Amino acid sequence: MTLLSARSAPFLVLLLALVSFGVGLAELPVQDRDEARFAQAARQMAATGDLIDIRLQDAPRHNKPALIYWAQTAAIWITGASGETPIWVHRLPSYLAGALSALAMIWAGTPLVGRRAAVIAGVICATIYMLHAEARTAKTDAALLLAVILAMGAMGRAWLDIARPWLTPFIFWTALAAGFLLKGPMVALPMIGAIIWIAVQFRRVHWLLRLRPLPGAILFAALTAPWFIAITLVTDGAFWSASLGGDLSDKITADGEHAASPPGFYLLTIWFTFFPWSLLIPLAISYAWMFRSDPKTAFLLGVLIPGWIVFEAVPVKLIHYTLPLYPALMLLCGAAMVRVFDGTLRLSRWARAIGSIGWLIALAFFTAVAVVLPVAYGPAEGVHIPSTLGALVFCGAGLVGLILFWRNVLPGAIAALALCGVVMGWTLTAASLPAARDFWIADQITEAMSANACLTGPVALAGYAEPSSVFRLGTDTILTDADGALAYLADGANRAAWIDPALISNAPNNAEAAPTINGMSIGNFRPVQLRLYVSPGVPAAADPCAG
């Protein structure tokens, strides 16, 4: 455990996160639906230079504030990418935010749980499944996590009365402003939970004055108000009706594209989203109960529990929604591990058994996914070697970590579980998922169009309207119905449209000979079949550009 106390520990944690999240950044195709929407809107922002009015093709995209689009636009400009930017460029802000989150955990957690526990929390942050997914996805959640960690670290210092008079409030209010520009008021939920918890348990609120509320509110307004005022004027207030009356309301009422889930959803899925460190959850619970009266532990419980209750109560539940609450759980896990190592905390066998059962189910699930996906949804026959080898490594490392955990060989358990998390992230994002070709319909269409260069102009799609197709085929892609696609083909030469055969009532006899794409929409997990039609509205020949 001496490595955890070394001066180089923060650097090593940052390096671990950069390596952990880096593999798969470019290999994983653009994902439907949110990532493709964010990336396409940012691409258009970079092309037009309009940093205020966010658009997806010609439609306004007003469900989220602008900061993540600015970050992706900056990545496009800095890398010199232009035109059809590759998806890895759009993922750079999430990648860097994910890596910095692991580093920030050490800064935020050291006053709350001690240096060694905070370093363990940083290792957890760098290797859990949920951040593996978000750090490779071009949307808001990894950046929001960083904002929450910084705000939590500043608020924790204020609560413990070790805040620097101006620097700590500056970090707190700047992090809140960044989070607000990323995802609205979501960033404040863990902080509000901590305030309520402390007020109830300790009957104290005056400590909040250490965060300098008045100057802080002015700073917050100065950072956030300009864009919100500008978007209100540009859209004549439509932004607010779309973001509050549409996006937020749909999540509360389950009227949008996501179905409702019952309370308890996150308690079940955390065995997977917090993997491989979900093994430590019973240990963290034991620690939190034993030290619940300690002001430091109480603060972490306030960050974690009230927000968790809110998320469980909201009908629409997606597995990444609770990610902003994970920093508190990471620190509790780290603190518990240190206590066990020091001999001041013991975990009963039944608690270890419960944790091990849930953890083994998650390990079996991820191993099966890694091995089966390329075979069930890709061209692989029998065994996909890279995925299978990766699955063997992370499964083996995880089982070694489990055995060492039971034997209280904690340094070895930490190393083995970290290796399990890193290799699992690599395997899923750089091998298994990219090899599941059926999911990447937009890539298949793009490859087919590249092979038929005689077909020019925008591509029309009927029966498939996922945003990844716009990102891959271009902003001018036409999303329409069958009649619209056929009318488009009839209006010009050398045009192409991919149409769901089920939408064509009287298809010619030769239609089945046309190039056809079969796959599975990752946006709604429904089978997709698209057939190539060409001008003037007929099924394409097997080789449309022959002769």
pLDDT at residue 372 is higher than 60: yes
Per-residue pLDDT at 361:
98
Per-residue pLDDT at 248:
61
Cα–Cα distance list, 468 to 33, 259, 331, 338, 359 (Å) = 7, 22, 37, 45, 34
- Report the candidate in 363, 344, 341 with the shortest Cα–Cα distance to residue 417: 363
3-state secondary structure of 538: strand
- Is the separation of the CB atoms in 508 and 430 below 8 Å? no
Q: Is 256 left (phi over 0), alpha (psi -120 to 50) or beta?
A: beta
Q: Which residues does 357 contact at the CB level (< 8 Å), separation at least 6?
A: none
What's the per-residue H, E or C state across 279-329? HHHHHHHHHHHHCCCCHHHHHHHHHHHHHHHHHHHCCECCCCCCHHHHHHH
Beta-carbon count within 10 A of 286 CB? 19
pLDDT at residue 7 is higher than 90: no
E strands, 48-127, in order? 55-56, 59-60
- Is the separation of the CB atoms in 333 and 355 below 8 Å? no
- Residue 104, token pair as written in the block: 């920030």
What are the CB-based long-range contacts (under 8 Å, 24+) for 338-342? 338/1, 338/113, 338/114, 338/116, 338/117, 338/120, 339/287, 340/283, 340/408, 340/410, 341/1, 341/410, 341/411
- Report the candidate in 33, 222, 238, 216 with the shortest Cα–Cα distance to residue 139: 33
Of the chain, the end-to-end C-alpha distance in Å amounts to 70
pLDDT at residue 184 is higher than 60: yes
Least confident of 278-287, 375-384, 391-400: 375-384
pLDDT at residue 253 is higher than 70: no
pLDDT at residue 321 is higher than 90: yes
- DSSP 8-class letter at 260: B
Half-sphere exposure for 69 (CA within 13 Å, toward CB) = 30
- Report the candidate in 181, 176, 174, 173 with the shortest Cα–Cα distance to residue 228: 181
Cα dihedral 501, 506, 509, 510 sign: negative
Percentage of the residues of the chain whose pLDDT score is greater than 70: 96
pLDDT tens per residue, range 330-343: 999 999 999 998 88
Per-residue pLDDT at 52:
94
**Residue 367 banded pLDDT, cuts 50, 70, 90:** very high
3-state secondary structure of 521: strand
Average of per-residue pLDDT across 387-412: 96
pLDDT tens per residue, range 88-105: 999 999 999 999 999 999
Average of per-residue pLDDT across 503-527: 86
pLDDT at residue 250 is higher than 80: no
pLDDT at residue 454 is higher than 70: yes
Per-residue pLDDT at 510:
75
**Dist CA 401 CA 398 (whole Å):** 5
pLDDT tens per residue, range 460-494: 999 999 999 999 999 999 999 999 999 999 999 99
Per-residue pLDDT at 522:
86
pLDDT tens per residue, range 9-34: 999 999 999 999 999 999 999 999 99
